[in-house]
Amino acid sequence: MEPKGAPAQGPVKQGDGAKVERQTIATKPFRTHLNRAGAGNPEAIVFLHGSGPGASGWSNWRLALPVLGTVYDCLAPDSSGYAASEHPPVPPTGTTAWMDLWVEQVVSLLDTLGLGSVHLVGNSMGGAIALQLAHRHPGRIKRIVLMGPSGAPFRLNPKLDAIWGFYARPSVELMTEMINWFAYDPKAFSQDLSEIARMRFEAAMDPQVRRTYQAMFPAPRQRYIDDYVLPDQALAQVTHPCLIIHGRDDPIVPLETSLYLLQKLPRVQLHVFGQCSHWTQIEYPEDFHNLLLGFFRENVR
């Protein structure tokens, strides 16, 4: 059974963009709920969401999928342990075990769908997963976009600690407050952010989602940031073209993470948005989409 707040199966259309199809795919080690737009297009992009409570592929990428799906085969799975993807009956202990599971899930999804190599877009925790995929399975990855990525060292801040510790005092008011942190000027996006907060709170309060999430990020939480970091030698071996996008005013994953990766990744460029927090794809959607289209088009023939 899908958790509360999970999107229904079937097509969704936004404006004049591509239809988004929702389906459940048999993957290893657990079944994956997938949002997909543009199936059949020759180039594929896998969008990886972040780690907040109630997070899902749809809540993170609902604006990008219809737009980029007109050109690319766009895949936004719910990472195992999140939203409508299958949850482990016994949640793994520790970041390394979860990362192994998420990497296996994406590779299995590509195998199941018959996709050889793909582009990646990873936000926050999804950025760390993208880097791990490129390091462990370099032949399956073409180009990488990292948006407000973890995967670099930084100190745990009060906002990220509160996000990971949401279930200490869960409420729709706290969820709304947290989602507002993701935008520099929440009032400018109040309708979008309110809808995302409602969707994510509903998903987060599903007992299965809650059980898994509480097992995923118990205190103390600095260790999860540290465990996401690839060693410098491994980052130097990620030779795929990389575009990093970051909000200058991100209070959750600070700009310093992208500046660090700018120094460590060989083929990398960085685009920084002023007056922007953690969700560039919501605050500057047209610019975000155009950056991705320009970056990925270099590989389209």
Tens digits of residue pLDDT in 252-297: 999 999 999 999 999 999 999 999 999 999 999 999 999 999 999 9
59 tagged catalytic: no
- The number of angstroms, rounded, from the C-alpha of 301 to the middle of its chain's C-alpha atoms is 27
pLDDT by residue (tens digit) across 179-221? Answer: 999 999 999 999 899 999 999 999 999 999 999 999 999 999 9
Q: Across residues 3-22, what is the average pLDDT?
A: 59
Q: Choosing from 87, 240, 246, 278, which is the catalytic residue?
A: 278
Residue 15: predicted pLDDT: 53
278 tagged catalytic: yes
Residue 70: predicted pLDDT: 96
pLDDT mean across residues, the chain: 93
Among 223, 218, 61, 228, which Cα is nearest to 133's?
228
Spell out the domain ranges in the chain.
Answer: 10-297
113 vs 15, residue with greater confidence: 113
Q: Choosing from 59, 192, 250, 258, which is the catalytic residue?
A: 250
The pTM is what? 0.94
14 vs 217, residue with greater confidence: 217
pLDDT by residue (tens digit) across 24-43? Answer: 999 999 999 999 999 999 99
Question: Is domain 10-297 in CATH 3.20.20.70, yes or no?
Answer: no
Calpha distance 222→219 (Å, rounded)? 8
Q: Choosing from 51, 59, 79, 124, which is the catalytic residue?
A: 124
185 tagged catalytic: no
